[in-house]
Amino acid sequence: MLNLIILIILYITLPVILIWLTTKFVFFKKLGAVVLAYALGIIIANIGILPKASEAFLKETVAKERPYIPEKEATEMLAAGTLTEKDIRANNVATIQDSVQSALIPLALPLILFSLSVRRWLKFSGKGFLSMILALISVSVIVATGYMIFGEKIPEGNKVAGMLIGTYTGGSINMAALAIALKVQPYTFIMTNTYDMMVGGLTILFFITAGPAVFRFILPPFKSQVVRNNEKIDIAGMEKEMAEEFDDYSGIFKKSILLPLLGALGLSVLIFAAGFGMSMLMPKIPLLISVILTITTLGVAASFIPKVRQIKKTFQLGMFFITAFSLVIASRCDLSVFFQVKYINILLFVTYAYFGSLILHLILSWIFRVDADDYLITTTGFVYSPPFVPMVAAALKNKDVILTGLATGIIGWIIGNYIGVAFSMWLGKI
User: What's the domain range around 317?
Assistant: 104-222+241-428
- pLDDT at res. 68: 83
- pLDDT at res. 229: 46
- pLDDT at res. 307: 92
CB 162 within 8 A of CB 424: yes
Contacts of 167 (CB under 8 A, 6+ apart): 174, 175, 196, 383, 416, 420
- Three-state DSSP state, 254: coil
- pLDDT at res. 227: 45
Taking the C-alpha atoms of residue 162 and residue 345, their distance in angstroms, rounded to an integer, is 16
Total number of domains in the chain: 1
Q: Has this prediction a pTM greater than 0.85?
A: no
The answer to whether residue 283 is domain-embedded is: yes
- pLDDT at res. 127: 64
- pLDDT at res. 384: 82
- pLDDT at res. 342: 67
- pLDDT at res. 53: 78
- pLDDT at res. 368: 92
Phi, then psi, of 231 in degrees rounded to 5: -130, 125
CA dihedral 24, 28, 31, 36 (to 10 degrees): -110
The answer to whether residue 99 is domain-embedded is: no
The answer to whether residue 173 is domain-embedded is: yes
The answer to whether residue 295 is domain-embedded is: yes
- pLDDT at res. 142: 95
Positions in the chain whose pLDDT score sits under 70 = 1-2, 62-65, 118, 120-127, 224-247, 284, 336-342, 387, 390
- pLDDT at res. 226: 46
Phi, then psi, of 334 in degrees rounded to 5: -75, 125
The answer to whether residue 402 is domain-embedded is: yes
The answer to whether residue 367 is domain-embedded is: yes
- pLDDT at res. 349: 93
Q: What is the pLDDT of residues 19-44, one digit of tens each?
A: 999 888 888 887 788 888 888 988 88
Q: What is the pLDDT of residues 100-110, one digit of tens each?
A: 888 888 898 89
The answer to whether residue 36 is domain-embedded is: no
The answer to whether residue 97 is domain-embedded is: no
